[in-house]
Structure 1
């Protein structure tokens, strides 16, 4: 990667994702959620954050952008294919964790990052899909 005018290397995709997920987790904790799992993986995909609040299991898809929103907002990047993949992975999670019959919802947390990977804004969309 090419350094910026101050000689710093730009953050890579993994660093940006980790910064956004950490911001999302802190946002949830500050709003009374309990984090159960982060980056839970199985053969169908990954769940960014699994949390609970008021006895509801909350599956959170974290999306981020840095810089301008020329390519759309982070929340706009959750398309039908991604929703289906998260639902399928959530089914496996519920089975593995024996969480049968529990109320569940799917949220999106959209994080805009500054160049230094600090949080510019967070938008939490409950019941996003």
Structure 2
């Protein structure tokens, strides 16, 4: 997938979250372990969001156990380097040409 398509999917996901009342704290947070696409907050809960786009199949299939391990390590690094005292969860935001869907509190 091209960088342009990925950025467009993340822009759509960010707009979707803002319309749902989330505050976007960061986008594309990087560590040596990996990247978090969107970090948002709503009602004293941090949401670490993995954005996946697909034109031809269900984008959730692109979140593998290896990807989840990288996300979790990156979240741990984020929490060490940023002062937050609220709960958190990992969400998947699935973007297709026709739809945007959020799956809350995913695990693998």
- Give the TM-score, by structure 1 length: 0.79
Segments of 5+ residues of structure 2 without an aligned counterpart are: none
SS in 2 for 1:104: strand
Moved over 4 A (4+): none
Higher radius of gyration, 1 or 2? 1
1:37, distance to aligned residue in structure 2 (A): 0.2
Partner residue of 1:6? none
1:102 and 1:81 map into 2 onto residues whose CA distance is: 26
1:102, distance to aligned residue in structure 2 (A): 2.4
SS in 2 for 1:93: helix
1:122 paired to 2:100? yes
SS in 1 for 2:77: helix
Partner residue of 1:55? 44
Aligned residues: 107
1:15 paired to 2:4? yes
CA RMSD of aligned residues (A): 1.1
2:11 and 2:60 map into 1 onto residues whose CA distance is: 17
Partner residue of 1:103? 87
2:59 and 2:26 map into 1 onto residues whose CA distance is: 22
- Give the TM-score, by structure 2 length: 0.94
Segments of 5+ residues of structure 1 without an aligned counterpart are: 1-11, 114-119
